[in-house]
Structure formats: C-alpha cells, structure tokens
Amino acid sequence: MSYQEYQSVILQTARDSIRHGLEHNKALKCDHSKVPEALLVHDACFVTLEINHQLRGCIGSLQAYQPLIDDIADNAFAAAFSDPRFPAVNEHDLQRLDIHVSILGPAEEMQFNSQDDLIEQIRPGIDGLILEDAGKRGTFLPSVWESLPDARDFLNHLKMKAGLSKDYWSDTIKVSRYTTEMIE
C-alpha cells in the first residue's frame, strides 16, 4: 500500500504533535475517528527533522506495534524533544522544520558468510539496515545513502553507530534489511 495520498495528513499530524509538545510537554493523542482508516493500520515509522538541510532530530520504531498515525505523532514528538544529540525544539525552530516520515516495510534477516558477502548483497539507495551483535544495535534508514553512497562505508558507519568499531566483525553478527516509503 502506498501512503502518498495521505501525505498532508501524515505531515500535519507530525507538525501538530510537535506543536502540542511545545504547549503540553507530551505527544498529540490522535482522534482515530477523524483519521483515514489506512493510517490506523499497525506500521512502523521514523520521523526525521531538518533545519536548512541539517539533521535536527530523528527517532522511530523498527517494528510496528501501534496504529501508524500514533507512531507518527509519538515519533515526531520524540524527534523534537528526546533525541539526545540535539536540544529540544523551540517555537522558532518549529517554523523552520522540514519534516520527513519514513514508513518502514518489514525487516528481513540477511544470510551471508563474510563481510564481503554481506556488502555484495546490500542494495545502495534502497536498503535500510539493522545491525545487531554483542548486545548492541543500530540502524540506518535508506536516506543515509545520500551521505554514505558506498556500501562498505555505509556498513562501517552503521557499526560505529551501534557502538562497535568500524573494523568489527564476528560470526554472530546479524543484519536485517528493510525498505521505506518516504513522505515529505
């Protein structure tokens, strides 16, 4: 299913949740009776905030556990106020925010026998990756390919994001891939 026809509702919900957060210090609770039925399906998303093309916050869910509209509202609020890399969004920031919502497809675990085999299978510009090992986990959305277009660099930076060294490798490492539908 494509969510493009609901673009205005999705983006307005994200912005309204951030505004609600500024006024009430909590995410917007969506009135499901006023939301298109397609947005009540359980799906996972990430909300990315930018100001002048610079990252300003990014928080999301890797697995669907609630209606998509609620995930959008919760993750928009979290990206604006709980991303530890940035100070909380203020009223001035809200006017300048570009909001991007990435709706995740299901993750599929990849099968590989070496780092080189894994790199051969990665689809640049298409795959988002979840890397897990040694009790650590990290993910990169497909949009990260714009700044890291080389598969080896993408994987090495993902390892570092997960708290591992870029040279880290083990036979227990797990990598799953997913695609996203971008709403912007």
Among the candidates 104, 122, 155, a domain finishes at 104
Question: How far is Cα of residue 106 from the mean position of the Cα atoms in its chain?
Answer: 13
Phi-psi sector, 25: left (phi>0), alpha (psi -120 to 50), beta: left
CATH code at position 40: 3.30.700.20
Q: Beta-strand (E) ranges in 123-168?
A: 128-133, 136-140
Same domain, 79 and 15: yes
Domain range holding 60? Answer: 4-104
pLDDT at 1 over 90: no
Residue 51 class from Cβ within 10 Å (0-12 exposed, 13-18 middle, 19+ buried)?
Answer: middle
Q: What is the pLDDT of residues 56-103, one digit of tens each?
A: 999 999 999 999 999 999 999 999 999 999 999 999 999 999 999 999
Please give the model's pTM, rounded to 2 decimal places: 0.92
For residues 37-51, give the mean pLDDT. 97
Same domain, 91 and 146: no
pLDDT at 177 over 80: yes
pLDDT at 122 over 80: yes
Same domain, 112 and 126: yes
Euclidean distance between CA atoms 18 and 81, whole angstroms: 8
